[in-house]
Amino acid sequence: MQHPRRGLAAFLVSALCAPAAWSAGTAQDAKLAEHGRYLVQVSGCNDCHTPGYLQNDGKAPAAQWLTGSAVGFQGPWGTSYPSNLRLLADRLSEAQWLARVRQPMRPPMPWFNLKAMSERDLLAIYRYLRAAGPAGAPAPAAAAPGVQVATPYFDFTPKNLPSQVSSAGKP
Total residues binding ligand HEC (CB under 6 A):
24
35 binds ligand HEC (CB under 6 A): no
Nearest to 66 by CA among 134, 124, 123: 134
48 binds ligand HEC (CB under 6 A): yes
Contact 80, 107 (CB under 8 A): yes
Q: Exactly one of 64, 90, 108, 149 binds ligand HEC (CB under 6 A); which one?
A: 108
33 binds ligand HEC (CB under 6 A): no
73 binds ligand HEC (CB under 6 A): yes
**Cβ 100 to ligand HEC shortest distance, Å:** 5
**Cβ 29 to ligand HEC shortest distance, Å:** 19
**Cβ 170 to ligand HEC shortest distance, Å:** 13
Residue type, 72: G
**Other Cβ atoms closer than 10 A to 55:** 10
Residues 141 and 50: their CA atoms lie apart, in Å, by 17
47 binds ligand HEC (CB under 6 A): yes
Task: Tell me which stretch binds ligand HEC (CB under 6 A): 6-14, 25-33, 43-51, 161-169.
Answer: 43-51
Judged by CB under 6 A, the chain residues 50 through 69 that form the site for ligand HEC are none
State the greatest distance between any 2 C-alpha atoms of the chain, in Å, as a whole number: 77
CA angle 149, 152, 158 (to 5 degrees): 80
Residues 114 and 117: their CA atoms lie apart, in Å, by 5
**Other Cβ atoms closer than 10 A to 39:** 17
CB closer to ligand HEC out of 107 and 166: 107
Q: Exactly one of 35, 38, 100, 135 binds ligand HEC (CB under 6 A); which one?
A: 100
